[in-house]
Structure formats: structure tokens, C-alpha cells
Amino acid sequence: MPFVLALIPARGGSKGLPGKNIAPVGGVPLIARAARAATAAGVDRVVVSTDDEAIARVARSAGAETLERPAELADDSASSESALLHALDVLEAQPDVVVFLQATSPFIDQDALSAAIARVTAGTEDVVFSAAPSHAFLWRDADGGVEGVNHRSTERLRRQDRPPEYRETGAFYVMDAAGFRAARHRFFGRIGVQVVDEADAIEIDTPADLRLASALATSRRGGADALPGIDAVVTDFDGVHTDDTVTVTQSGEESVRVSRRDGHGVRMLREAGIPLLILSAERNPVVSARAAKLGVEAISGAESKREPLLAWAAGAGIDLDRVAYLGNDLADLPCFDAVGCAVAVADAHPAVLAAADVVLSAAGGRGAVRELAERVLAGRTITQEEPT
């Protein structure tokens, strides 16, 4: 089978939008979205080339390998090709196909990417890149005014009477590896277009682009942000039911602050017959006290949360694939891997945000549990209304 290597150059020095490559869209950092898309498309290896440790950390959390990008290849004048060629040389990689992805495209279509890889692997084309069809009338400055670029100003054909043109989206470029090494440029030989939906063809360069992408990511969740197929909910305590702060009195007594909204969310789940477990590494009696008041089970003082989670689900006869786990910090990651729906609060650790299937809009201690409860219950409503 051909060896397919995905390379994602992601430098940290963006001036137009600082921190661009780890900016969250739909709660997931851009670099993580790109790495996940490559993995979902079936590539054999995903490598992120970066000069920024924050980018590298999030990329690794998303399952990618990382490669240190030299400073001279990470300034404004450096080309993406230079970073790709450096990666191929340093990795001593001998792939048959190189997939160049850009993290600034948040909605990489994994099916389109897979199709593009198949075309290059089959030898149909040497390069296949993502592009969106366009029927736009383009104009440019000219002496004394403007002139049409792709049309005559006196001839206004209907959309259906004009063949489409293609706008390069920048999301991915799939290349024959040997041909790319020889040409040292992303375009060479036989070039093909992999058509993607115009709605997916957003490239983030400015704050306005980021706002638009975030709005689209939110709208795509649909169904009142519903989470269907959830039979049970498990949550961490500190940083989820609380804002992760502790008040300590002079006598050494500790207290935490919780949200009444979250308490109501727990009651909503309980009344709907959805089991909820609070699972905490904290040994403070406040955990069991809060759980008792809410009328739910709690396990506290757990050094490793995964084993108690597995034992609880097995004892209750609950399928882990139908469990939503809500967490905020690194200790929650083993539980994320065990359940069907990993959920993070809005202010979770970057690695947790990258690993989450869902990122809530509310922060820990500020309504996150209530938000998750509403989405789980909305998912149940949708499931019940689906025709059989």
C-alpha cells in the first residue's frame, strides 16, 4: 500500500491574527482540527512543523507528531514549500504521497481529502488541490476605471449558462512525493481539482474570518446543540461544578463556590432518569456533601479516574459509548478515551480542548453542567421524534 504522509506547517508568528493556529473554532483549536481531519481521511502519519511550543503541545494532544521548524523557515518571507521540504529531509521520510494541509482552513472535508489522496495514489494526477466552484463576476482596476476579468462587461450570462471557475481554498494539496521533491513547488505535472462545498471553503486570516468560522461551527451543531445517544453523564468536580478556586480560612478550612444553574441542571437529568456520577480526585468532603445535596452518586479521592469510571459503568450496566464525560484538566483525558462523548468546559486546559468531542460555551462553575444537561435532554427529544 502507498505510504501517505500528512504535513501541516504552522508557525507561531502570525501578525494579522496572533495565536491563529491554536485559535478555537467550535471549541477545537485550528491545528487540532487539521490533524484530526488528516487522521480521519486515513493518512499513515501526521506531522506538524512548527516553531511554537504552544502549537506543538496542542498538536500532540490531537494525535500528531511534531517537528521543530527552524527560525529561518518561520518568518513572513518563508514559503510553505520550504517547510515541507525541510520536514521531508529531517524526517528522512520516503512517502509515496505528501498531503499538505493548512490549519487555517477549519472545515476540511475528510471525504474530499480521501478522494484526492485516492486520485494521486492511483496515478490519475500528480497534484490534486481543494477548490470551491465559483460563478462570480470579477473586476480589476484599469486605466480610467475598472474592467471585467472573467467576463465582458456588456455580456451578462446567467449563472447556469457560465461554466464554473474554481477558487483555491487552501485547505489541502495532495502531491506525488517524488514529483514534489523534484519541482520544489506544490503545483507540477498533471493538476486536478477536488471540488469542495463553498460552505466549507473558509480560510482564516483575520479576526472577522475567525468570527465567521465560529458562527458556522455553532450553527452546524443544530438541534438546539443537541447531544443524542447519551444514557449517562459523568463529571469531574473541581473546575466543572466549581470555578477551580478555593477559599481558605485562617483555621485552614476550605470552601468552594458552585452555581445554582448547575444544580438545576443536575436535577433536570435526575428527573429525566439519566444517571449522573461526580468523579473527583479531590479528597475534600465538599465533594460528597455537594453530591448528597444534589441526590447523585460521587466517587472522590480517586488517584486514577478511569478505573472507577469503568467499574461504575459496568456495575450500572451502562454502555460506555453512551456516556458523556465532562472534564477540564489533564487528569480527565484517560476518561475521555473511555467514553463515547468527551466534553470540555470552555476554560479547560488546551490539551483537553483539543481532545474533546464537544466544547461547551460555559466555563466551569458558571453553568457548564446545566448546558450539558440541556444538550443531553435535547438529544433525547430528537431521538424520540425520529421516525421509525
Do both 282 and 293 map to the same domain?
yes
Do both 164 and 298 map to the same domain?
no
Do both 191 and 280 map to the same domain?
no
Do both 106 and 231 map to the same domain?
no
> Can you tell me whether residue 124 is helix, strand or coil?
coil
Higher pLDDT pick, 130 / 350: 130
Q: Does the pLDDT value for residue 250 go beyond 60? A: yes
Domain ranges, residue 66: 4-221
pLDDT for position 386:
41
pLDDT for position 154:
85
For the chain, the residue count is 388
DSSP 8-class letter at 216: H
pLDDT for position 387:
38
Portion of the chain with pLDDT greater than 90, in percent: 60
Least confident among 60-74, 207-221, 279-293: 207-221
CATH of the domain at 230: 3.40.50.1000
pLDDT for position 218:
64
Average pLDDT over residues 119-144: 94
Is 364 in contact with 377 (CB distance < 8 Å)?
Answer: no
Last residue of a domain, one of 199, 221, 243: 221
Is 327 in contact with 309 (CB distance < 8 Å)?
Answer: no
- Most confident by average pLDDT, 100-104, 280-284, 355-359: 100-104
Do both 239 and 303 map to the same domain?
yes
Q: Report the DSSP pairing between strands 254-255 and 247-248.
A: antiparallel
pLDDT for position 225:
57
What is the identity of the amino acid at 164?
Answer: P
Do both 147 and 274 map to the same domain?
no
Q: Does the pLDDT value for residue 352 go beyond 80? A: yes
Do both 11 and 109 map to the same domain?
yes
CATH of the domain at 37: 3.90.550.10
Do both 243 and 156 map to the same domain?
no
Q: How far apart are CA 111 and CA 117, in angstroms?
A: 10
Q: Does the pLDDT value for residue 60 go beyond 60? A: yes
Average pLDDT over residues 162-177: 94
Last residue of a domain, one of 221, 252, 268: 221
Do both 241 and 372 map to the same domain?
yes
Last residue of a domain, one of 156, 191, 221: 221
> Would you state the cell numbers that stand for residue 122, as one nine-digit string?
492511483
- The total number of structural domains in the chain stands at 2
Average pLDDT over residues 160-176: 92
Q: How far apart are CA 277 and CA 300, in angstroms?
A: 10
Do both 159 and 13 map to the same domain?
yes
- pLDDT, tens digit, for every residue of 4-22? 999 999 998 777 788 889 8
Do both 30 and 148 map to the same domain?
yes
Do both 249 and 358 map to the same domain?
yes
